[in-house]
Amino acid sequence: MKTKPAMWSVGGIPDVLFVTVLSLETPEALGRTSQPLALLTREPLLQLPSFELHFGGGRHSPAQCTPIIQPIEVSATILDMINTFTLCLFDHVFSKQYESNPSKMPYFLVPVSTGVVVNGNADPLAVISWDVLQSVQDHQLKWADNPWDNKFWQTESDDFFADKYIIDPFDGSRKLWSKGVTRDYKALDPVPPNTAPRVGARKDNSNILEYSCSLWAKARSRRVFDPTQRVIEAEYISLRRNLLDEFDEPVDASPKKCFVVLEPLQLSPVSKNI
């Protein structure tokens, strides 16, 4: 009895990769804008039947798998970009970090351009959203040395912070959508009423800055944060990772809105649509 198909155990640096586009038949069921992803494999996938994905609240959609006949030739530059995006996706969405070694990756994930017609005869190079791949790679390289450098945030306009995906590098269960900058609060102001509750040993709700930080008390005491940085209005993301299960969890009536500062957190290059 096999635990997984043999093709997932094939390693080495690939010369070509085959593209299978994963898309929702009724994307509006997700409740927000989205764009498809593509699975890149060393061998072509067979045509798989559609399967149902469940998003909670009675919302669901069939997922379609569309293999493209023509593979893409993979250069070292292309492989580096798709590997960086795949690792970033696993890290920022699922809080899973893996060694950066393309020869050991069984498959890769890439974003699909919006508005393209996808079928078996499509041009795979036109299907892939290369601008998103480049943006993610640039971001990862920029922040590899000093992710705490706050100068970047200070030079951006308020508009930049709208509709961003925010992760907590010290609490993998904490994911946020940013609404934008608010001038109603400052970093050292008390946490506003009806804010999403923080639970656990690492919580400190004495002010917005401390509410934003998930470091343990000893590590927290060694950090020096900028008290003048802007406050971001955001919303907690309800995590539903088993999309194959149609069972709906009880509705969580606790508040989702919150106010945070970004220095203890991290803006992800993964777009809200993905």
Cβ atoms of residues 174 and 165 within 8 Å: no
Give domain limits for the chain.
6-142, 151-267
What's the pLDDT tens digit per position in 154-181?
678 899 899 999 999 888 889 999 999 9
Residue 163 corresponds to which amino acid?
D
Token pair 């079928």: residue:
119
What's the pLDDT tens digit per position in 50-63?
999 988 878 899 99
What is the pTM assigned to this prediction?
0.88
What's the pLDDT tens digit per position in 185-242?
999 999 999 899 887 766 788 899 999 999 888 887 888 888 999 999 999 987 767 8
Q: For residue 181, what are the β-bridge partners?
A: 232
Cβ atoms of residues 78 and 59 within 8 Å: no
How far is 175 from 192, CA to CA, in rounded Å? Answer: 19
Q: Would you give the distance in Å from CA 210 to the centre of its chain?
A: 24
Using the predicted structure, report yes or no on whether residue 152 has a pLDDT greater than 70.
no
Q: Which of 122-126, 224-228, 267-271 has the highest mean pLDDT?
A: 122-126
How far is 209 from 227, CA to CA, in rounded Å? Answer: 8
Q: Coil, strand, or helix at residue 63? A: strand
CATH of segment(s) 151-267: 2.170.260
How far is 22 from 38, CA to CA, in rounded Å? Answer: 6
Position 234 scores a pLDDT of 95
- Comparing 48 with 239, the larger pLDDT belongs to 48
